[in-house]
Structure 1
């Protein structure tokens, strides 16, 4: 029994360590959400300095942990250092937990619809090692296969896109464009994620109205704004406000009643206490996923860069700034938007996270992933990552399916808060803002992004 408790503590410590590194990855991505300043921005998304952006730290973490399963030597150590694991098993355990909780499709039980696809595509001149192939399937539910980059790069692109489309049930139809690979490419890692959640308390479509949205350059565009008079989870901070919008959570499974306690015999003992202890000691891991969107809105219309700087200042910034109390609202407006962003993560991982050798055609050591078909050990170009491609698709609209009785209960709760907090708060997201989509039980950040123009769906 003591051994089990010790193992549980060790597992929890490992989860806290890797969770911290997932947050660190999220912060690295957050830095790239600052808008371009006079064109002088050196980021992975430099070409997108004046566009909407969105990344999924959880999905990127899972893809890089998957890559670690085939890495060796310094290459493996760099990935472990960046992702916060002592071993491949640590990364596999945490990535698997993230995939099962934060990246799992819970739409059938009433939660968000999530589609996640991860893959490693190597040139046909190499053969996957059996151990890596087994890890890809067992721990990461990932696709790993050979493809002919050397002779037919365009066909390779079509095949990868087709696999992503199939894995996400056609919710994401492509991740690469023809220019993404060429005849010298020998390995591409991909991760794609689709997310569509229903609000815990939906917005009324009849209340949506078109209004002005102010871009960073001072120009305006007409966009549809969702409106509400309900109390909201809003925090007022110095220089910005934070709105937390819960998504509808998965419904719990039917409660199975425990069997009746055995009949107490004379001189015997009942097992009821043991059964009760087992039920009361249920693990936190059994808690259902709980998703929320958190929007950080600058007070100033051009204040996005300052908020990004604060967000990237420390690992606990985003979490401890989230609101915990509902407040009555005055003017409440949130634009509808849909983002479909495809980008390279290579520069972020290399320059910000310190993962260097895996991208080097000299230093990469992926010898536990694949071997050359000719079996030769002579010097040559090793298997190395040409790019890490990532695509994120997210929709925000009025949709919700709360029953009338549940909605009534929700409004009553809001009315109680109104009595306790009479001061109203305006939240008008009519200028650029940041957003996070989080799974609260694991603190996994599913998305981090910025909206500069709600009418632009992507790149």
Structure 2
């Protein structure tokens, strides 16, 4: 993709993906399945950055790997218009992307902020009565989330998460449903052993096939690329190189979005964390190791799974360097809404980031993938060509990517495909 046009933040988004994956594993002593949407988190924080100034803006730009708000805005426009364009009318994946900003009716947003988030993120802006009708406002936001994610996620804000002190809630939602280019046959799915990190095993439904697949073998791991159906001729025959090209977009019009799920499988049954470290070693590692050609497959097994995550990201983001936005004496979000002063000019209310909630669900079966994610930022006033085997019978990492832009839409790892947890927790 020609730099300067399109999604210039793909490397930054990938780096954010790896940092979040490491943090969201909760603990290596008591690990669990994880699914999240880097693109949703990136987009929600971009909504915050659009209203930040000074050191608060500097920290947000550092976490997001951007040089300026203008770069974030350009990336936002590209994501909405291209990377997450709905392909379902032409037979491709169904994609829904929505951003929303809810503010208390008594705390008006800056006109420039309203214009910026509508232009770059197609954000819906609504005034609500947090001060007098906090619970009704929370329910309204949750209903918006359910509609934006095809009801795969029914809510994001838990009870008592919104109060009379809430001033602004920012939300981003992504819904994805795609069918494999070549679906698996359900009759071939068999219950087999899946080996866990502690050496024990569980019985899990494993999809099987004798077809050729996009698989590459590397030192210590293998990578599988499963393309989703597309009407773009030859879309999956070879991965596009356009994002590395320096040619003009006028000479080479941007191709249609192309989606795939990529599975990184370590050779060793307990090798996931070492592999995660390798993937995180370079922002380009992910795209540099995606298979380009089909190869004959001898044995192939991939478990069906449904993985979810629901948690607060505030502590994670602080650990990643986003500190000022959460502190009443340091936060500067005055480009979103001005500070409130009394008659003598003394500051009495400042907008500050309170919580960042994220919820994601990814389900994989014989037909394809259904996934959704929501990120909410709540602010308040405060004071090789040989047959290969690909047997995913032990923990692995997965990524749903839009290949043309390099955007990571969903990511996670599967430690036990028979487990599906969806309870709210803090990630320390």
Normalising by structure 1, report the TM-score: 0.78
1:138 and 2:119 aligned: yes
Q: Secondary structure at the match of 1:380?
A: strand
Post-superposition shift, 1:135? 2.2
Q: Is the 8 A contact 1:296 1:433 kept in 2?
A: yes
Q: Secondary structure at the match of 2:348?
A: coil
Find the counterpart in structure 1 of residue 98 from structure 2: 117
More strand by share: 2
Q: Which runs of 5+ in 1 are unaligned?
A: 1-7, 39-48, 253-279, 401-419
RMSD: 2.7
Match of 2:79 in 1: 98
The C-alpha deviation readout for 1:368-422, integer Å capped at 9, x for no partner, is 112367876522341111122222232211116xxxxxxxxxxxxxxxxxxx93x
Q: Is 2:401 the partner of 1:438? A: yes
Q: Does 1:160 align with 2:141?
A: yes
- Larger Rg belongs to: 1
Q: In the aligned structure 2, how far is the partner of 1:439 from the partner of 1:200? A: 15
Give SS of 1:355's match.
coil
Higher normalized helix content (fraction of residues): 1
Q: Deviations over 1:403-450 (max 9, x none)?
A: xxxxxxxxxxxxxxxxx93x3211111121100111111111111101
The residue number in structure 1 matching 2:426 is none
| Contact 2:25–2:31 under 8 Å retained in 1 | no
Question: Does residue 22 in structure 1 map to residue 1 in structure 2?
Answer: no
- State the distance in 1 between where 2:31 and 2:57 align: 35
Distance 1:185 1:389 in 2: 15
Mapping of 1:388-399 within 5 angstroms? 388-399=356-367
Q: Per-residue CA shift, 1:187-237, capped at 9, x if unaligned?
A: 443323222211111111111112222222333322211111011111222
Which runs of structure 2 are paired with 1:6-405 in the superposition (5 Å)? 11-12=4-5, 15-16=7-8, 18-32=9-23, 34=25, 36-38=27-29, 49-251=30-232, 282-352=250-320, 354-371=321-338, 377-399=345-367
User: Structure 2: how far apart are the matches of 1:180 and 1:308?
Assistant: 33
Q: Aligned pair in 2 of structure 1 residues 289, 215: CA closer, same or farther (>3 Å)?
A: same
Tell me how far apart the structure 1 counterparts of residues 317 and 65 of structure 2 sit (CA, whole Å).
Answer: 14
Aligned to 1:43: none
Segments of 5+ residues of structure 2 without an aligned counterpart are 234-247, 369-383, 423-428
Decide which moves more: 320-329 or 229-238. Answer: 320-329
8 Å CA contact 1:193–1:392 kept in 2: the answer is no
Relative to the length of structure 2, the TM-score reads 0.83
Deviation at 1:182, TM superposition (A): 4.5
**Comparing 237-246 and 217-226, the one that deviates more:** 217-226
- Aligned mates of 1:25, 1:163 — CA distance in 2: 27
Deviations 1:125-174 (A, max 9, x none): 42112222222222211233344445554333212101212333434321
CA distance in 1, matches of 2:166, 2:273: 36
Are the aligned partners of 2:342 and 2:348 in contact in 1 as well (CA < 8 Å)? no
Number of residue-to-residue matches in the alignment? 392
In structure 2, distance between residues paired with 1:432 and 1:281: 40
User: Comparing 97-106 with 175-184, which one deviates more in the overlay?
Assistant: 175-184
